[in-house]
Amino acid sequence: MHRLARTAATILTLALALAVSAQSGASAASTQYEAESATISQGSVATDHTGYSGSGFVDYTNVAGGYVEWTVTAATAGAATLALRYANGTTVNRPMDVRVNGAVVASAKAFAGTGSWDTWADGTLTATLNAGANTVRATATTSVGGPNLDRLTVTTQTGGTGPAVPFGSHLFPYAAGTLKPSGSQATLDQAVVTYYDKWKSAFLRQNCGNGWYEVISPDADHPYVAEGQGYGMVILATMAGADPNAKTAFDGMVKYMLAHPSVNNADLLAAEQDTSCRSVNGSDSATDGDLDVAYGLLLADRQWGSTGTYDYKALAIRHINAIKASEVNPATHLTRLGDWSTSGDSLYYVTRSSDWLIGHFRAFRKATGDTAWDTIRTAHQNLITSQQSTYAASTGLLADFVVNTNTTPKPAPGEVLEDANDGKYWWNACRDPWRIGTDAVTSGDAASLASARKLSTWIRGKTGGDPSKIAVGYSLGGTQIESGSEPAFFAPFTVAAMTDSGGQAWLDALWTKMLNTTFTSSDYYSTSIQLQVMIVASGNFWTP
């Protein structure tokens, strides 16, 4: 549903070391440092809001230059995750410079509004600590001062059991020839972490108790949708290492998923919940959400193993098998819209292009050993190629929905599920350059590369290299549907651009466009898409 990257011997030694590291992982050691116990300049200790830890929190004076500085200890030198727990009851960002041992590691790091002064969130970043004592200083950079600051949590890796693929480790290089945005890897990684912090603050919630975490979707048809839960699980598992709370939140999302089964297949997720987190609108499934839930569980198994509270691998395989049984058409091997679309239903031979997740199908084949997923993957790649060549030869665009999959698949002739643009490149298909491009850069598959390059070459020419000219929707021939600039439409072309050998300047322009685009707490759909695009574009996506 929508909306709404020496010598041969040296290289071999390094590769083996990375493989061992990836399998054994490293245990995370976390230490909390209260803000009220730190050195404070132009701020004071306060207790007039709830939810803080320790004996209080720091209320910055409303001036630039105020700071809180901690002295933290690291057993060994190396990378660490710093999480600053803060509250900002305004709608105005209160940025701060974060310095480690006097050097700025995050300039004007955003600390966006959290909804109220009693609502706390984590602003996370990565930095390198020295063995022994280190200073960490958070300095307000504007006249409104900093947010209320509760504590600093420092997480280091000490060897042991995970996460096996911490964010920023880049253990899985992309296909040869893949482009990345210009700039240092550290800068790219930090941009993702900064954006993730904003996304998490805006959309990751614990609104319904029960130990659940859920992604809220104010701009979707319902407050909580399966698509959002799938996005959240993939994002959290990928950001492990940058976010010390990732596993806790992920487990909360697993608990939520298990508590909301589809009425048709209990191993799938009910598609929609209301403000009280009660499943509604038939309590059946949506294929896109289930695909990402299963993929997120595979990532979690790779990150943390499956011997904790949840057996991620077993849950993933159950989910994957349920997807095959209830959300893949056995005749066409193409995805159905959900487990509610059964033989005889008018939409049984309709499929949605944004569900054609080629890389997910590869992961499902690897996890289950089921060769059916090879057949399913090939069927979708063939459909992508044929739809591009037959109906969008000049653009490569795909329709939101394709009908008649049992005979001659073609773009929907009009409204079949959502609106009159169902046969155009609209609010579902806008994700296709990201999804197809992700498989292209991670697998190097020739078909995915060709499809992604076609999309990138066309949009680069269409806009003259200006991402601001990417419209909100197109006919398959390339005529824009609406004007405006929407991340759900421009961000996905960033991943396609990574496959485009002549597109470095275009890729850089798209990356810059994403960094310069703000969002509100109602922009769940575009923001969730852009964050995942940034994860891929920065070289941090991987296939379990």
**Residues acting as catalytic residues:** 227, 288
**Beta-sheet strands, E only, within 162-256:** 204-205, 214-215, 224-225
Report the alpha-carbon distance of residue 216 to residue 225 in Å, rounded. Answer: 8
User: Phi first, then psi: what are they for 175, rounded to 5°?
Assistant: -60, 150
Report the alpha-carbon distance of residue 154 to residue 453 in Å, rounded. Answer: 42
By three-state DSSP, how is residue 56 classified? Answer: coil
Going from the C-alpha of 171 to that of each of 142, 166, 236, 323, 544, the distances in angstroms are 38, 9, 18, 29, 12
Task: Tell me the three-class secondary structure of 419-449, residue by residue.
Answer: CCCCCCECCCHHHHHHHHHHHHHHHCCHHHH
State the DSSP code for 175: P
Report the alpha-carbon distance of residue 494 to residue 424 in Å, rounded. Answer: 20
Going from the C-alpha of 95 to that of each of 88, 109, 123, the distances in angstroms are 11, 5, 11
Report the alpha-carbon distance of residue 465 to residue 316 in Å, rounded. Answer: 41
User: Phi first, then psi: what are they for 178, rounded to 5°?
Assistant: -65, 135
Report the alpha-carbon distance of residue 446 to residue 383 in Å, rounded. Answer: 15
- Determine the angle formed by the axes of helices 226-239 and 185-203, rounding to 10 degrees: 140
- Interacting residues of 496 by C-beta distance below 8 A, sequence separation 6+: 433, 434, 436, 437, 452, 453, 455, 456, 459
Report the alpha-carbon distance of residue 275 to residue 265 in Å, rounded. Answer: 23
The end-to-end CA distance of the chain, in Å, is: 24
Going from the C-alpha of 470 to that of each of 212, 265, 306, 401, the distances in angstroms are 38, 40, 43, 21
E strand or H helix that includes residue 158: none
How many CB atoms lie under 10 A from the CB of residue 540?
23
Dmax (CA) of the chain: 72
